[in-house]
Amino acid sequence: MMTTRNQILWIFAMILFFATGCSRNDQKNNPQSYVEVQGSAEKEIDPDIFYLNITLSETNGSQKNDINVLEQKLLAVMESLKINTKTNLSVTGMSGDNWYWWRKNRKLYQNKSYLLKTSNLDLLNSVCDKLDNLGGYVNYYLSKTDYSKMDELKKEVQQEAVKQARVKAENLLSGENQKVDELIYLQESEPYNQTGRFNYEYANKMEAADAAPSTIDFQKMKVSYDVIARFSIK
């Protein structure tokens, strides 16, 4: 004979059993229909920030090629072009080379590297022209380019990728007399690398200092974005 406590537990178990069964039946009878698609977007933009790497090197010769003298010449070039060296020019490295180690009175020849940041392409060309006449051994190259409104551009491309996903879903359902409802799932993706990062593609083209002015522009920067989106169906 069941005690009162056992009767209560039995009734509770039956209620839980029927409630779970009803819930499962409801899910089977009314599954949520959805469509899953991939959306992609990309945009190209002209870079508007340029980084020029400059290296000054002492050479075997007169006092004019001393690293301190070369640095003063470099600063004079920047000042002549009205470049703020406190905000736009920084030292990125220093090193020394002992090329003539077999000599009795050998000297350590110093190298010093700088990074110049500018958003003016004409100014960049003027810097390169003046560096060629600096004296000593000067090496320079464009290390990278950037875009000043990159965060806004990322957001714009992200939103466009989601819009393209919705358009694709609507096209898939247009022949089935069904309509796309709300977004219920979203995942970032990227070809060959499922991390959702942005791809930056750029190449740097600089004209030679002794060549005629070129009309070749910098290659555009490309920002691409992919998403996997799932929409419920009305």
**Among 3.30.420.10, 3.30.70.120, 3.20.20.30, 3.40.50.720, what is the CATH number of 49-146?**
3.30.70.120
**What is the predicted pLDDT for the residue at 97?**
67
Q: Is 90 strand, coil or helix?
A: strand
Give CA separation, 208 vs 121, 130, 158, in Å.
15, 13, 38
Domain boundaries, the chain: 30-45+149-233, 49-146
Q: Which residues pair with 110 in a beta bridge?
A: 96
CB 224 within 8 A of CB 38: no
**pTM of the complete model beyond 0.85:** no
**What is the predicted pLDDT for the residue at 218?**
72
Per-residue pLDDT of the chain (234 residues; tens, 9 = 90+): 556 655 555 555 566 555 454 444 443 444 568 899 999 999 888 888 999 999 988 776 555 578 888 899 999 999 999 999 999 999 998 887 665 555 555 567 788 999 999 999 889 889 988 888 877 788 898 888 888 998 898 889 999 999 999 999 999 888 778 888 899 999 886 543 332 333 444 333 444 444 444 555 677 888 888 999 999 988
**What is the predicted pLDDT for the residue at 178?**
85
Interacting residues of 26 by C-beta distance below 8 A, sequence separation 6+? none
CB 207 within 8 A of CB 216: yes
Give CA separation, 130 vs 38, 74, 123, in Å.
51, 9, 11
Alpha-carbon distance 98 to 38, whole Å? 58
79's enclosing H/E stretch is helix 67-80
**What is the predicted pLDDT for the residue at 209?**
40
**Among 3.30.565.10, 3.30.360.10, 3.30.110.170, 2.40.50.140, what is the CATH number of 30-45+149-233?**
3.30.110.170
CB 59 within 8 A of CB 71: no
